[in-house]
């Protein structure tokens, strides 16, 4: 199994997602957080599963939308070893602007 690493900002993203949902329902927050980590592990096994989004960035990043929670997207570097998770974002956020600020 291929391993992965989360950037400091991706770790903060996951915490922010959890905290936002937990304001209403901690159980739901736990389920979404687990789905995020499950998706990351799935991607680490075969990083080309995601898709590119030239409309959002010209960088060599791939995107994976969670099937069970389609509002959330994992952004990662498919060519890095270990797989580097750059962001975990809600689809209504300005993803283009957020990624432009992250290296």
Rounded CA-CA distance 53/50 in Å is 10
Average pLDDT value for residue range 20-31: 97
Rounded CA-CA distance 93/8 in Å is 19
CA angle 48, 60, 88 (to 5 degrees): 75
CATH T-level topology, domain 4-101: YaeB-like fold (3.30.2310)
- Domain coordinates of the chain in residue numbers? 4-101
Please answer whether residues 91 and 71 qualify as being in contact, where contact means their C-beta atoms are separated by less than 8 angstroms: yes
CA angle 6, 61, 3 (to 5 degrees): 35
51-92: per-residue pLDDT in tens?
999 999 999 999 999 999 999 999 999 999 999 999 999 989
Does residue 37 surpass a pLDDT of 70?
yes
The tokens 């901690």 sit on which residue? 26
Average pLDDT value for residue range 22-40: 97
Rounded CA-CA distance 100/42 in Å is 26
């Amino acid at each position: 199994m291929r391993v992965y690493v989360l950037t400091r900002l991706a770790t903060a993203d996951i915490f922010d997602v959890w905290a936002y949902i937990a304001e209403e329902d901690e159980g739901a927050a736990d389920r979404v957080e687990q789905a995020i980590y499950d998706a990351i592990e799935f991607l680490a096994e075969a990083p080309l599963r995601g898709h590119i989004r030239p409309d959002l960035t010209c960088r060599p990043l791939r995107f994976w939308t969670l099937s069970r929670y389609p509002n959330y997207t994992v952004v990662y570097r498919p060519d890095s070893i270990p797989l580097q998770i750059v962001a975990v974002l809600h689809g209504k956020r300005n993803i283009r602007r957020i990624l432009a600020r992250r290296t």
